[in-house]
Structure 1
Amino acid sequence: MLTNFDKSLLNIIQRNLPISERPFLELAKILNTTEDNVIERLRYLKEHGYIRRIGPFFDSGKLEYKGTLVALKVKEGYMQQVAEFINRYPGATHNYEREGEYNLWFTLLTHSEEKRKQILDEIKAQKGVEKLMNLVS
């Protein structure tokens, strides 16, 4: 169950996570608590599914990255292997399993169309990948 403290902590880390050597200490000062308490509550929130990850979001367009959404049809028994292969690429921001013909989806950021094509060709060649649909915007 979320406490009022948890709600305040979640609101702050979504919009104003301090960028510093000790961001959790800075959060503790803002929330009038200890660094250990902040870390303990963040651990709890992650373990209970309130937080998936903590990390920055960048404006990829301003950094001259091009993004695409990719859908794969992966044979039964190969999902984990293919997902782990995709995760090797720094531009793959996340992937997730879905129901339906295209059962593994991910987003990919690259600096060029050539790099995107190279990566997608490598993924398409993986054992268990039956189809790939690139939904570039």
Structure 2
Amino acid sequence: MEQTPLISSASPIELDDIDKQIINLIQLDFPVTVHPFEIIAEKIGTTEDVVIEKLKRLQQEKAIRRIGPVINTRGLGGSNTLAAVKVPAVQIEEAAAVISKYPEVSHNYLRNEEYNIWFTVSAPTQERLDTILSEIQEKLKCPLLNLPTVRQFKIQVKFKL
């Protein structure tokens, strides 16, 4: 199944060696300390200011979306699901904007399938998750699939640059 992110950069950005080293380090081993960027800088032989500036640029150019923890929603008593909507081609941009307005939505993809916009939702309660899906379906007036997790298989991904 082919998938395309609904938000994409026009062209790939160029990464220098320091950019690559920073990205490789922060993916799975971000220092939990008062000065994490100083620790990263020491590991790659540069300064804290350089690391901070590089990360700002990488975020501005959309090479990285954010720096933050990955929360186990279910472990905290919340709910999550994979959902899909069947949206007419002329409504795709509008639908993506509606879906993306919810901070509980973490991924939003266009696919070349009957149900063409797929997204994940994580909410603090099942009630909130149900409300989000209902609101999206009501606003879009399109069929929506809710595909709740039956059994979760976690994998760890690290992209070595």
Work out whether the TM-score is over 0.5: yes
Q: Distance in 2 between matches of 1:23 and 1:78?
A: 43
State the TM-score, normalized to the length of structure 2.
0.69
Q: Counterparts in 2 of 1:39-54, with a 5 A limit?
A: 39-42=52-55, 45=58, 50-54=63-67
Q: Distance in 1 between matches of 2:109 and 2:33?
A: 31
* Counterpart in the other structure of 1:13: 26
2:161 is equivalent to residue 131 of structure 1: no
State the TM-score, normalized to the length of structure 1.
0.79
2:75 is equivalent to residue 97 of structure 1: no
Q: Secondary structure at the match of 1:56?
A: coil
- Is the Cα contact below 8 Å between 2:73 and 2:124 reproduced in 1? no
Same amino acid, percent of matched pairs: 39
Cα-Cα RMSD: 2.5
Structure 1 window deviating more from structure 2 (17-26 vs 107-116): it is 17-26
* Counterpart in the other structure of 2:154: none
State the structure with bigger RCO (CA 8 A, min sep 6), 1 or 2: 2
Q: Distance in 2 between matches of 1:97 and 1:15?
A: 28
The gaps in structure 2 that reach 5 residues or longer are 1-13, 150-161
Q: Counterparts in 2 of 1:1-137, with a 5 A limit?
A: 3-20=16-33, 22-42=35-55, 45=58, 50-127=63-140, 129-137=141-149
Structure 1 window deviating more from structure 2 (23-32 vs 38-47): it is 38-47
For residues 35-58 of structure 1, give each alpha carbon's deviation from its aligned partner in whole angstroms, at most 9, with x where no partner exists.
332234435655776534333211
Structure 1 window deviating more from structure 2 (85-94 vs 67-76): it is 85-94
**Aligned residue-pair number:** 136
Q: Secondary structure at the match of 1:78?
A: helix
